[in-house]
Amino acid sequence: MTGEGSIPVRVNDRVLDLPEGRSLLEGLLEAGVPIPHLCHHPALKKATGVCRLCTVEVSVGDGGPQTRRACLLKPLPGMAVRTESAAVQAAREKAMRALLRQAPQAERLLQIAAQFAIRVDPAPDGCIRCLLCERICREVVGAAALRLGKRGGVRLIEPVEGRCIGCGTCANVCPTRVIHVHDEEAVRVISIRGETIGRHPLAVCEGCGKRFATPKFLDAAHHRAVDHHPDVKEHHRFCPECAKRLSGRVSALTTRRY
Ligand code: SF4
C-alpha cells in the first residue's frame, strides 16, 4: 500500500514504500535494506556518489536493469531495484578496490568489505616478487630455504621449514628490504612480513669474542672451504675483521690447535 508522499518500489522480492523526494539510498537504508556506503552523510544535502559503493541494479518500466548509484537516484513509479545481484557485487568489488588502493589499511573499508562479502585483494606486503632472495638462497647459498608459494590465492615468498642457515644473504639482496635480519644478543632471526624464516644461535669469534655468524652458516662455509680452498679451511672460526687482521697467523694458529 502506498503511504502519503511515498512511492512503491520493488526491492528484491518485496514492494517497499520509499519516501518521495529523498534519495533511493536514504529510502532503502530507512527501510532496513543494507547498502554499503561511505560518502553519504545525513547532515549533508547533496549526494556526490564518489565512493560508488551504494551501486544497485535498477530498472524502470520496460527498461533493462542498469547498475546505478543509489545515492544519486530518487524512487520512481515502476522502479525495481536489486541490491544483491552478481552485477551489484561486481560493482561493489570494483569500487572497493579503487578505495583500498588509496587507503589499503582503512579499518572501516575492511569492515564494510567483510560485512557485504566484498572480495578484496590482500594489502601490499612490500615484496615485489622479484625472486632474487629465492634464487640466491638456492643457487648461491645452496640452502633452498625460500620458495614462491600461494596462500589464499596470492603468490608470495615463504620459508621452507628447517632449511635456513641464517646467512642473511636474502636480506642483503632484497631490493625493498622486506626481509629482515635481526641479531638479538645471541640469536639471529631472519623474517619476512613478520614471519620467521630462520632462528639461529650465533657463534662466537675465536679472535675477539664477538658473536658474528650462525653455526649452520659456518659449517656450510667450512665444507666449501675444504672443497675449494684447503689452505684456509679454519678461517671461518674468526669474524671477518679478525680473519683479516690475523690472516697471516690464522693458518699457523689453527694448525697448532689441530
Ligand atoms: S638467511 Fe636463510 S633464507 Fe636467507 S639466504 Fe640465507 S639460508 Fe636462505
Residues 119-134: tens digit of each pLDDT: 988 778 899 999 999 9
CA distance 241 to 160: 32
CA distance 156 to 177: 15
Reported as a pLDDT band with limits 50, 70 and 90, residue 231 is low
Asked if residue 233 has pLDDT above 70, the reply is: no
CA distance 78 to 242: 87
CA distance 52 to 109: 13
Segment 21-25 mean pLDDT: 95
Helix (H) or strand (E) holding 213: strand 211-213
Asked if residue 4 has pLDDT above 90, the reply is: no
Q: Which among 140, 146, 172, 195 is the best mutation to test ligand 1's pocket, defined by most ligand atoms within 8 Å of the CB?
A: 146
Cα 112 to averaged position of ligand 1 atoms, centre (Å):
39
Task: Evaluate whether 82 touches 89 at the Cβ level (below 8 Å).
Answer: no
Is CATH 3.40.50.300 the classification given to domain 6-103+109-115? no
Q: Are strands 146-151 and 79-82 parallel, antiparallel or unpaired?
A: unpaired
Report residue 9 CA to chain centroid gap: 42
Break the chain into its structural domains and give their ranges.
Answer: 6-103+109-115, 132-201, 204-257
Reported as a pLDDT band with limits 50, 70 and 90, residue 3 is very low
Residues 192-217: tens digit of each pLDDT: 988 999 999 999 999 899 999 999 99
Among protein residues, the one with the nearest Cα to ligand 1's atom 2 is 164
Residues 137-188: tens digit of each pLDDT: 999 999 999 999 998 788 999 999 999 999 999 999 999 999 999 998 899 9
Q: Are strands 79-82 and 6-11 parallel, antiparallel or unpaired?
A: parallel
What pLDDT does residue 255 have?
A: 46
Q: Which among 137, 188, 224 is the best mutation to test ligand 1's pocket, defined by most ligand atoms within 8 Å of the CB?
A: 137
Reported as a pLDDT band with limits 50, 70 and 90, residue 55 is very high
Cα 234 to averaged position of ligand 1 atoms, centre (Å):
22
Pocket-forming residues, ligand 1, beta carbon under 6 Å? 137, 141, 143, 145-146, 164-170, 190, 197-198
Q: Nearest 5 degrees, angle CA 139-CA 145-CA 148?
A: 85
Q: What is the rounded average pLDDT for all residues in the chain?
A: 90
